[in-house]
């Protein structure tokens, strides 16, 4: 029965267990993407920030021109803030992907750790 259980553990570890771990990594990535509002930022990259100076303005040419400049300024500010967040978010995501890859690769190695540890112990190597 013990052998059956060990086999069952190893089977689970390399099938459902790994898939579940990959699911967790993927969920975390999703959460980060949601947190940094990636799709929204990309869709509204040049939209006026916080609707400041947004909307149609009616009046003399001078007023219209001023509104246009204001709106343009608002768009530039918006684009700058959005790009900054996109950059920070991008860095976080890259780091997270790397960590995820390490976790998933490490997951595969874990059952071998006792053997590896034993090998290193026998070799006598230490810091």
Partner 1 sequence: MNPNATFNPSSVRAAKARLGVRLTKSLRTGIELLTVLLVVGGVTLLFVHSSVGWLLIGLAAIPAMLIEWYSGNLHHPSSEGETIDGLLSGDVLGQLGQNPTPQDIVKAATKVRGGMFFALRFGVTEQFLLNVTTDQPTDTAAIWQSALAVRQEVGCPHISGAVLVVAVIDSFHDSQSLLAHMKLSREDLIAGIRWYEHLRDLVVKNSAPKRTGGIARDFSFGYTPLLKRFAINLSDQVGMRISVDIESHKKAIDQLIDTFGTNGRQNAALVGPAGAGKTTIVHAFAERLLDAKEKLPPSLKFRQIYLLDSSALIAAAPGRGELEGLIMRVLGEAYSAKNIIICLDNAQLFFEEGVGSVDLTNVLLPILEAGNLRIILTMDEQRYLQIGKRNPGLVNALNRISITQANRDETIAVMQDQLIMTEYQRKVTYMYQSLDEAYRLSERYVHDLAMPGRALKLLESGATYGESGFITGNSIQQAIEQTMDIKVGVARGEEEREKLLNLEDHIHERMINQTHAVQVVSDALRRARAGVRNQNRPIGTFLFLGPTGVGKTELAKALADVYFGGEERMIRLDLNEYVRPEDVSRLIADGADDPTSLTAQAMKQPFSVVLLDEIEKAHPQVLTTLLQLLDEGILRDIKNREISFRDAIVIATSNAGADRIREYIQRGYKLKDFESQFIDELISSNQFKPEFLNRFDEIVVFRPLEKPELVQVVDLILAGINKQMALQKVTINVADDAKELLVERGYDPRLGARPMRRIVQRAVENLVAKQMLSGEVAPGTVIEITKSQVQQILGE
Binding site for partner 1 (CB under 8 A): 1, 4-5, 8-9, 12-13, 16-17, 20, 27, 30-31, 34-37, 40-41, 44, 47-52, 54-55, 78, 81-82, 85, 110-111, 113-121, 123-127
Q: At what angle do helices 16-35 and 2-14 cross, to 10 degrees?
A: 30
Min separation Cβ 113 and partner 1, Å:
4
Min separation Cβ 43 and partner 1, Å:
8
Nearer to partner 1, 27 or 64 (CB): 27
Nearer to partner 1, 59 or 61 (CB): 59
Nearer to partner 1, 25 or 49 (CB): 49
């Amino acid at each position: 029965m013990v052998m059956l259980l060990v086999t069952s553990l190893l089977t689970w570890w390399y099938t459902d267990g790994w898939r579940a771990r990959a699911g967790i990594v993927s969920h975390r990535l999703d959460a980060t993407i949601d947190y940094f509002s990636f799709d929204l930022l990309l869709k509204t990259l040049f939209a006026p920030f916080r609707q400041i100076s947004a909307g149609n303005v009616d009046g003399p040419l001078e007023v219209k021109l001023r509104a246009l400049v204001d709106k343009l300024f608002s768009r530039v500010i918006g684009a700058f803030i959005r790009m900054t967040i996109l950059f920070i978010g991008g860095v976080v995501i890259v780091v997270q992907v790397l960590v995820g890859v390490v976790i998933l690769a490490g997951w595969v190695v874990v059952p071998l750790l006792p053997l590896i540890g034993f090998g290193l112990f026998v070799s006598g190597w230490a810091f």
